[in-house]
Structure 1
């Protein structure tokens, strides 16, 4: 049989690497803040992601925020939101806003 398709080879290489890294039971000090794949083995990744997202969001948020913001915003927003929010906000804001809002 001919050579594997590139995507299949990448998946096989990734599975092999995860399997090898999965045998490491100690979490290195420099991996504490990295993306951990397996909570028993501490496999860390540095990810560069280009994402195209189509999102349908139902959000239940409990937020405690302390914000110091300096914002220059040019916003064109079309929002369809279903939100349940419990907010405790301490805000110190300097805002320059140009807003075009279409809210449904």
Structure 2
């Protein structure tokens, strides 16, 4: 089981989540409960690949930022990613979509 989830447009396994507020830099971080956070990112044209989808490397970059935020809050120390063994992209992410990350 992966320690994070990736969900499009504020849904997570059929449950609708309230949308996060957007800021001018198109990134919003919210804290819902103690020791939890969400990161919502607007996928902009700069993140697109040749097919018009968001490049997987960009999604991995954001994923790493979310993992760092979660780990550093939990440990209260500087953390680094040692390895990413496997990532499965289940469906494409398109430019203009909001992608919400919920670390667990």
TM-score, with structure 1 as normaliser: 0.24
Higher strand share: 1
Higher relative contact order (CA 8 A, sep 6+): 2
